[in-house]
Amino acid sequence: MLIAYELLFDELAKYLETHLIETEAHWLRLNFTRIYQKIFQNAKLQELQKWCNDIVVKYPDKVFESEDFSLLQENALVSIICRDDLQMKEVKIWNHIIKWGIDQNPGLPTNSENWSNENFLALKATLRNWLPHIRYFQISGDDIIDNVQPYHQVLEKNLWKDITNKLISPNRQVSSIILPPRMILTPKLPSRNTEPFSTVINEAHASEIASWVNKKENIYSVMDNPYEFKLLLRGTRDGFTADSFWKLCNKQKHLVVVIKVKGTDEILGGYNPIGWDNLTGKAFYKNCNDSFIYSLKNGIIQNSILSRVKKPEYAIRCMHNNGPLFGYGDLNMSHNYNQDRKCICYPYSYEKQIRNVSIIESDGISYFSVEEYEIFQISKKP
């Protein structure tokens, strides 16, 4: 898009911008930091800028706590702090802004107490476009103002005096022109009745998986399930790549994989308590005694099948160009798992074949393709 604008292909650039927002939102989220750094290089990318800022104001840590915060362009950050709905305390916002300004002046001494008047003027010049957006500081007892000296020198004297007086006496009127406080919203959580936690499994399935995790003889009821299922990755058969799997699941632990098999009622999956590790270019196994694979009761599938690991040294397989792999081939999602018959079940490291024996082919392997696929991270409920 940036190149298209340079070549004056504005219509093409706008088409690409609309295409990304409407059909590639998942990819935008996966590459959010990189996208955010790029889109403010051209003021014409207003729709993408708004799309990203609508996310940032709700989840400001995506930007303010990122490792690349000091590398962001000034116009990007100004576009955030001028929003009335930025969900972050004013004190915390300005702590970050002061830090950003200091990072733009690498010649400044480390300790602000040793700064000269010229050092403060340099910082003030760096932040000249930010100061008109300052708002009333809602300071409470647990708020901490970092770098007090830069605050004192960079802000106008009357403004800093009003802020410190407010800290001492919150009811005192201020004489400076300060914008009103931001709108701190109370998020409304979606009801489980209107937005299910999964598009593949239901609460009863989750309780059955939880029972297997805890090695219970009797299956938990839905009300007694001790685990929360936090979604890490979801999509249709055309929306997955090995790259998206590794970006969201690398080194994560206590993972539950659920797979809707194309063209059948089958729901396959597995539990990996130790996680997958991505060592580029290397394929290796991880030893695990507590992993398992399964098939869930669903539709015409009358009974669930649990298959625990029998060769723990081959329990979990890691390959950088594949999705989640259990065992030698017991439940493998290859890098082409969105294509027909590219996933396999072949019992070796686990106790049982989790698919109907009638579909096993002459080589002892059953092949399938994925219709939908989700990965959850489970944790004990409070």
Residue 180 lies in a domain: no
CA distance 249 to 8: 40
Q: Are residues 148 and 32 in the same domain?
A: yes
Tell whether 191 is covered by a domain: no
Residue 161's domain comprises: 2-168
Q: Are both 160 and 208 inside the same structural domain? A: no
Per-residue model confidence (pLDDT) at position 139: 46
Whole-number Cα distances in Å, 178 to 58, 137, 163: 23, 9, 10
Domain count, the chain: 2
Q: What is the C-alpha R_g of the chain?
A: 27
pLDDT of residue 302: 87
The reply to whether 126 falls in a domain is yes
Can you give the pLDDT at residue 194? 46
310, 340 Cβ separation under 8 angstroms: no
Q: Can you point out the beta strands (E) in 127-276?
A: 227-236, 255-261, 267-272
Rounded CA gap, 7 and 285, in Å?
50
Q: How far apart are CA 340 and CA 370, in angstroms?
A: 8
pLDDT score at 335:
57
Same domain, 130 and 221: no
**Any idea how long the chain is?**
382
Co-location of 362 and 240 in the same domain: yes
Residue 189 is predicted with a pLDDT of: 44
- Are 130 and 263 contained in the same domain? no
Same domain? 78 vs 29: yes
Whether residues 115 and 216 fall in one domain: no
**197 domain residue, yes or no:** no
Q: Do β-strands 283-286 and 267-272 pair in parallel, antiparallel, or remain unpaired? A: unpaired
Determine, yes or no, domain membership for 175.
no
Same domain as 282, residue 338: yes
- For residue 27, being part of any structural domain is answered with yes
Low-confidence ranges of the chain (pLDDT < 70): 131-132, 134-195, 236-240, 335-341, 357, 362
- Token pair belonging to 97: 């802004």
**Are 140 and 212 in the same domain?**
no
Asked, for residue 257, whether it belongs to a domain, the answer is: yes
Bridge partner residues of 227 (DSSP): 380
Report pLDDT digits (tens) over 202-244.
Answer: 999 999 999 999 999 899 988 889 999 999 998 765 556 788 8
pLDDT digits (tens, 9 = 90+) for 70-111: 888 888 888 888 888 888 887 788 888 888 888 998 888 888
Same domain membership, residue 240 and residue 356: yes
Specify the 3-state DSSP secondary structure of 82. Answer: coil
Residue 208, exposed/middle/buried by CB under 10 A (0-12, 13-18, 19+)?
Answer: buried
